[in-house]
Amino acid sequence: MTAAFLVCPLCAGPFDIQNGVWRCTAGHTFDVAREGYVNLLPAHHKHSKDPGDRPESLQARRAFLDAGHYAPLRAALVERLSALRPTGLLDIGCGEGYYTAAMAAQASTTVGLDIAKPAIRLAAKRHSGITWVVGSGARLPVASESVDVICTLFTPLHEAEMARVLRPGGRVLMVTPDAAHLHDLRAALFDVVEPHEPEKFRKGFEPLFEFVDQQAVRYPLALSPRDVNLLLEMTPYAWKARPERRVELEAREAGLQTEAAFSMLEFTKTPAPAR
């Protein structure tokens, strides 16, 4: 485990690691947990007692992802990173580490960060060789201009913080659902199905970033009844849909045929104005 480009969340000082303790130059200390992660989320930076995804949702997501349903998306991310060849990679909102672990082979140093402690605990238990951190994307415990590539999948965006920690010319790879993602599932749950709008994120990245590329990843998805249950548990659909619609969907013995559709957007940090 290495401090890499991480800094103290209280004073932004660099860390020294000795005997399982991270100590910054100002004397703030953070212990490495038994599972191998470090918690860099001070209590006063939280907006709730247990922020982030629920343990039940995380377990459902791990089971769903382990079944390979989103493996094509993971492969597309790895392929793109292999072209970028980053020295330092930061995965914001890494969850239980499914994508981070695969992407780490393309970088010299990888940090997976999530605000949910249960997610980081799961990730650290399974995947070694990665620095796992409980932290906030809104206040990254990361040194300014220290990271080559940031990946962020299906998580709230804090563009100014990402721009701060990226080196000049650094890249952001952002993944969001494409227009038709899980259309048949959503049609079974809701009277009106609003298409996802990945292009709306491009405006949010201006003027701190310049748009580079947008890649679609689409493929058919055959879901068993168990897969449907896991998918509902790991998404907001579990509480947005009317209960009777969910019960009806989960009762389908044949499961569900739908489409996975993702949009991977790439941005580069806008150069600072010449002085």
Q: Does 96 belong to an annotated binding site?
A: yes
| Closest residue by Cα to residue 249 from 190, 203, 161 | 190
Q: Does 94 belong to an annotated binding site?
A: no
Q: Does 28 belong to an annotated binding site?
A: yes
C-alpha 184/C-alpha 250 separation (Å) is 13
Q: Does 24 belong to an annotated binding site?
A: yes
DSSP3 helix / strand / coil % (the chain, rounded to 5): 35, 30, 35
Q: Does 151 belong to an annotated binding site?
A: no
- 138-170 burial code (b ≥16 CB/10 A, e <16): eebbbbeebbbbbbbbebebbbebbbbbbbeeb
Q: Does 161 belong to an annotated binding site?
A: no
Q: Does 27 belong to an annotated binding site?
A: no
Torsion angles phi and psi, residue 171, rounded to 5: -120, 150
Quick check: 172 and 162 in contact, CB under 8 A?
Answer: yes
Q: Does 13 belong to an annotated binding site?
A: no
Q: Indicate the helix (H) or strand (E) that contains 80.
A: helix 71-84
Would the CA dihedral through 35, 40, 43, 48 be positive or negative?
negative
Binding residue positions: 8, 11, 24, 28, 70, 96-97, 181
Binding residue positions for S-adenosyl-L-methionine: 70, 96-97, 181
Binding residue positions for Zn(2+): 8, 11, 24, 28
